[in-house]
Structure 1
Amino acid sequence: MIVALLNQKGGVGKTTLALHLAGEWATRDRRVTLIDADPQGSALDWSQQRGREGLRRLFGAIGLPRDTLHREAPELYRDADLVVIDGPPRVAALMRSALLAADLVLIPVQPSPLDGWASAEMLALVAEARIYRPEIVARFVLNRCGARTVLARETAEALADHDPPMLRATVGQRVVFAAAAQSGRLAREIDMESPAAAEIAALVSEIDQLGVERREP
């Protein structure tokens, strides 16, 4: 399966989710390759920091901020069980290429009406990609949220009956994610018992239950 985390709005936590999803799958004995398609290269920076800290490599990380992703990602998939794409913000050609490469598109949103409005353009791109690959599966992921806040609850309710739907598992705004980003670690490596580690594990389990399989276009 090729999973792309995409949203044209920046600051929604795509890179954090991409790294933690890749890491969680790797700890479940899956062969994972992460593609950093963001020209900023934050996922690659994390991987390099991990090397400087002397930590073992959990998954391969490759920088491919190019509009040929739809051709290159399937080639990388031949040697992996999963490919995770950390998508670019507001680069239309790259976004379209990542969409055409993906079997599953995850759209991270924060609990804010502005995120809901900003995702409309993203959904239009998903609809466009489905003209060529109608089997693409898409889901919203509620990220950086306080689980008990009114705004998070209202956002979840607003997206509950949406197409695409929202995953049940949500990820909170956790200090441990910032520490993980700086140290080249995963939240589970810092504190296996943390709410952050449990949230990522629940998210991966729910994605696995979707049963999305790779279909060659």
Structure 2
Amino acid sequence: MIVALLNQKGGVGKTTLALHLAGAWAAKGLRVTLIDADPQGSALDWSERRGHEGLPRLFGVIGLARDTLHREVPELARSADRIVIDGPPRVAGLMRSALLAADMVLIPVQPSPFDGWASAEMLALLGEARVYRPDLAARFVLNRCAARTVIARETAEGLADHDPPLLATSIGQRVVFAQAAQTGRLASEVDGDSTAAREVAALAEEIDRLGIGRITP
């Protein structure tokens, strides 16, 4: 399965989600490759920090910030059970290529009406891609969400009957994510019993249950 995390709006936590989903699947024994398609290279930076800390490699991280992704990813997928693409903000050519490469698009949004408006551009690109890939699946995922706030509830309710639909699992605004990023770790490595680690595991499981693309148990 090839999962692309995309949103035209920056700062919605795409890289954090991409790294943690890759880690959750790798922890299950799957062969995972993360493609850093963001010119900022944040996932590559995380991988470099991990190496400097002498930590074992959990999954491969490849920099591929170019608009030929859709032609190059299928070859990489031959030797992986999961491909996770950390996409760029505001780079239409790269984003179109990632859309054409993916089996499923995850659109992270924060609990804010402004994120909903910004997603309109993303949905327009998704519509374009579905002309060529009518089977392309897509889901919103609520990220950096403060639990039990009015705005979080209103955002979830606003997306409840949306197309694409909202995943049931949301990811909270957790300090452990920032702590992990500083040393090339994942939340589950900092604290395996943390709420953040449980939320990420639940999100990976929910995506798997959808049965999209090539699923290897």
Regarding TM over 0.5, the answer is: yes
Map 1:50-69 to 2 at 5 A. 50-69=50-69
Please state whether the residue corresponding to 1:183 is helix, strand or coil: coil
AA aligned to 1:169 is T
Q: Which runs of 4+ in 1 moved over 2 A?
A: none
1:148 alignment counterpart: 148
When the two chains are superposed, the root-mean-square deviation of aligned CA atoms in Å is 0.9
Count, aligned residues: 215
AA aligned to 1:163 is D
- 2:97 is equivalent to residue 121 of structure 1: no
How big is each residue's C-alpha offset from its partner over 1:94-150, in whole Å with a ceiling of 9 and x where there is no partner?
Answer: 000000000000000000000000001100100100000101000000000112111
1:109 alignment counterpart: 109
Please state whether the residue corresponding to 2:182 is helix, strand or coil: helix
CA distance in 2, matches of 1:146, 1:184: 24
Please state how far the C-alpha of 1:214 moved relative to its aligned partner: 3.8
AA aligned to 2:102 is A
CA distance in 1, matches of 2:158, 2:147: 15
1:35 alignment counterpart: 35
CA distance in 1, matches of 2:132, 2:205: 29
In the alignment, structure 2 segments of 5+ residues that lack a partner are none
With the length of structure 1 as denominator, give the TM-score of the two structures. 0.98
CA distance in 2, matches of 1:170, 1:183: 24
In the alignment, structure 1 segments of 5+ residues that lack a partner are none
CA distance in 2, matches of 1:30, 1:150: 38
How big is each residue's C-alpha offset from its partner over 1:57-110, in whole Å with a ceiling of 9 and x where there is no partner?
Answer: 000000000000001111100000010000000000000000000000000000
1:10 alignment counterpart: 10
CA distance in 1, matches of 2:103, 2:213: 7
Q: Among the aligned pairs, what percent are the same residue?
A: 78
AA aligned to 1:88 is P
With the length of structure 2 as denominator, give the TM-score of the two structures. 0.98
CA distance in 2, matches of 1:177, 1:74: 31
